[in-house]
Amino acid sequence: MNEQPYEAVGQRLQAVRQEIQQFIVGQQEAVDFTLYAMLADGHVLLEGLPGLGKTMLIRTIADVLALSFARIQFTPDLMPADITGTSLLQADAQGKQQFVFQEGPIFHQMVLADEINRATPKTQSALLEAMGEKTVTILGETRNMAAPFFVLATQNPIEMEGTYPLPEAQMDRFLCKVVLPYPTKQELMEIMKRTTTSQEITLTKQMTAAQLVEAQRLVKDVLLADEILAYAVELVSRTHPDNDANMKPLIQYGSGPRGVQSVIKLAKARAVVEGRFHVSIHDIHAVAKPALRHRLLLTYEAEMQQMTADDCIEQLIASLRQGQHI
């Protein structure tokens, strides 16, 4: 396999990462996994408290990658047609009335679904077809999305007032879920320096949409050894309580096949960003939590112990290492 295309794309992606970090302080996991997911042609769910920079992060990535951008503010009264668009009756040059389709914001290359869990489940589900099939069917007519096409959704923690849990089917459509932590004191200092002065930061576009599509093609061709694939399959299969006695008291439902797909796709993307054309076991470990944390439903017992999905995934990885499944 020719290594040069992977090295060139890796260098370009490193430049993209550095450009984003000129404007975004901290949030390294969010930056990295948003890039990984886009390279893997997937969608991202970002969770964090209001004011942590979720919207600014996504807008910055769209600018650096030169992608058309649209923001949808999800509210309880948002309707599906507000997302997909609708047909309006308009007069043509001859004065005849005819229906003309007005595209909704979903037809941009990068769509920010801001505070997605503030809308009702019916409106949330309007994204399902677009995310899964990259098409939208309106009044019996199927329309294609832009290429490339990404949905990056932000949500506030479920416990906050005025939020609705995302349906399981929609949660599964997201390639990964990234949790944004509260910034450290040093990061807060830097944020204040960048946002409370007259200094302006100008972002430079580092990739085009065509280059991103080419990078996605390279990601698909990254080498994956059978033993690495078997390890990923073993890891995900153990999220099912019937397959691991230690997980039975903790996990009510485990990940489906999309969980394995997400782990492999993200691991391949991570390898390309690092300038490699093969997946390592470290790639699997690095992507396991974001790829699987939103696909596990914990038991009441686990919640009483204040355990999280990340804790369960850590236990599974530790168990596989002890059992020498590497």
Q: What is the 3-state secondary structure (H, E, C) of 39-97?
A: HCCCCEEEECCCCCCHHHHHHHHHHHCCCCEEEEECCCCCCHHHHHEEEEEEECCCCCE
Predicted TM-score of the model (pTM) = 0.85
pLDDT of the residue at 163: 63
pLDDT of the residue at 279: 92
State how far the alpha carbon of 3 is from the alpha carbons of 8, 9, 39, 92, 274, in Å: 9, 10, 18, 55, 12
CB 268, CB 222: distance < 8 Å: yes
User: Burial, 126: exposed, middle or buried (Cβ in 10 Å; 0-12, 13-18, 19+)?
Assistant: buried
CATH of domain 4-195: 3.40.50.300
pLDDT in tens, 35-50: 899 999 889 998 877 7
| Domain range 222-322, its CATH number among 1.10.8.80, 3.20.20.60, 3.20.20.70, 2.10.25.10 | 1.10.8.80
Q: Where are the domains of the chain?
A: 4-195, 222-322
Give the pLDDT of the chain (326 residues) as one tens digit per residue: 556 677 788 888 888 888 887 777 777 888 888 889 999 988 999 887 776 677 778 888 888 888 888 888 888 888 888 888 777 777 777 777 777 777 788 888 888 888 887 877 777 777 777 888 888 877 777 888 888 888 888 887 755 555 666 777 777 888 999 888 777 788 777 777 777 766 666 777 878 888 888 888 888 988 899 999 999 999 999 998 888 778 888 888 888 888 999 999 999 999 988 888 889 999 999 999 999 998 888 888 888 888 888 888 998 898 888 765 44
CB 292, CB 59: distance < 8 Å: no
